[in-house]
């Protein structure tokens, strides 16, 4: 169908956009790439009275390195991330996720910021952002604030963002930059959301042990789920095949995944176990 009528603004500055959000409050919805929002509006699942479209706002799509921190503009598209030399070289899990969001056409327009704020439980970025310890930079009426990805996602389609705020930037801290890691995703058809997605990022010590493993799953809860039990199993240990297999078992056992039309809970657990094992095998050198 077509969307319901709405009042439309496409401001050409972030300040103007924030002014509009302050003015219209809960009636206003930000449009970034529109690749999640417009389909919902066309189905009339969502009919915001006011749309504040950011397409004219400059300087919100970029990948920058600032003192070993990687800063990503919220309007950077999936294609831009996928093809960014910096992201490919230094944030392997993020490049991997950018490559599998939707399809090549959607990836030309969809943005990392839009995806993060949309916060679908089976989207790809949220798990990766939590695994990478990302910081989410929000601008609002009261100024700027930064929220850790870990606390940013509150529920399915719900984040801590307030109605007067815009996500402007995502920052990946230096500790996670350049670390080995992957994002693996199972979906029934190539362009589906994740049935199960696994984001892994590891820090290896010089002696071949794993100082720290960050394993976060998508599609198995209403928000990204950290496999804390599996992580602590690996902490300080040599990541042998046996240990990885054990960590994968623990990760799956700790899950309480939903059942839906795509898969039942046990299938998701089974897939999670396989994918956690594969993710760790790919991420940990010489396992």
Segment interacting with other proteins, rule: CB under 8 A, options 30-38, 213-221, 228-236, 241-249: 30-38
Q: Does 1 bind other proteins (CB under 8 A)?
A: yes
CB of 244 to other proteins, least distance (A): 28
Interface segment toward other proteins; rule CB under 8 A; list 12-20, 35-43, 230-238, 262-270: 35-43
- Binding-site size, other proteins (CB under 8 A): 30
Residue from 15, 25, 43, 188 that binds other proteins (CB under 8 A)?
Answer: 43
Distance CA 50, CA 242 (A): 55
Give whichever of 155 and 260 is closer to other proteins, judged by the CB atom. Answer: 260
Tell me the sheet residues that pair with 226.
216
Interface residue with other proteins, options 109, 120, 203, 249 (CB under 8 A)? 109
Q: Exactly one of 13, 25, 39, 253 binds other proteins (CB under 8 A); which one?
A: 39
Q: Is 104 in the site for other proteins (CB under 8 A)?
A: yes
12 binds other proteins (CB under 8 A): no
- Which positions lie near other proteins, rule CB under 8 A? 1-8, 10, 31, 34-35, 38-39, 41-43, 51, 53, 55, 79, 102-106, 108-109, 190-191
């Amino acid at each position: 169908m077509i969307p319901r009528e709405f009042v439309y603004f496409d401001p050409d500055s972030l300040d103007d956009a924030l002014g509009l959000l302050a003015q219209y409050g809960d009636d206003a919805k930000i449009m970034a790439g529109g690749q999640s929002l417009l389909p919902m509006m066309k189905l009339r699942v969502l009919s915001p009275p006011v749309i504040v479209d950011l397409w004219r706002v400059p300087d919100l799509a970029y990948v920058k390195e600032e003192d070993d921190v990687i800063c990503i503009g919220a309007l950077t598209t999936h294609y831009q991330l996928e093809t960014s030399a910096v992201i490919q070289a230094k944030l392997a899990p993020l490049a991997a996720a950018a490559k599998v969001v939707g399809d090549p056409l959607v990836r030309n327009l969809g943005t990392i910021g839009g995806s993060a704020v949309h916060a679908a439980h089976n989207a790809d970025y949220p798990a990766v952002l939590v695994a990478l310890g990302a910081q989410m930079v929000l601008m609002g009426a009261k100024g700027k604030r930064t929220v850790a990805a870990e606390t940013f996602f509150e529920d399915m389609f719900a984040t801590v963002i307030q109605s007067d705020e815009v996500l402007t930037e995502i920052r990946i801290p230096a500790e996670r930059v350049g670390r080995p890691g992957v994002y693996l995703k199972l979906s029934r058809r190539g362009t589906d959301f994740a049935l199960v997605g696994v984001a892994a990022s590891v820090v290896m010590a010089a002696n071949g042990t794993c100082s720290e493993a960050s394993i976060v799953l998508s599609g198995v809860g209403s928000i990204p789920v950290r496999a804390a039990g599996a992580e602590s199993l690996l902490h300080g240990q040599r990541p042998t095949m046996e240990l990885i297999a054990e960590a994968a078992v623990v990760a799956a056992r700790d899950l309480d995944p939903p059942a839906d039309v795509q898969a039942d809970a046990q299938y998701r657990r089974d897939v999670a176990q396989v994918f956690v094992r594969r993710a760790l095998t790919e991420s940990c050198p010489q396992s």
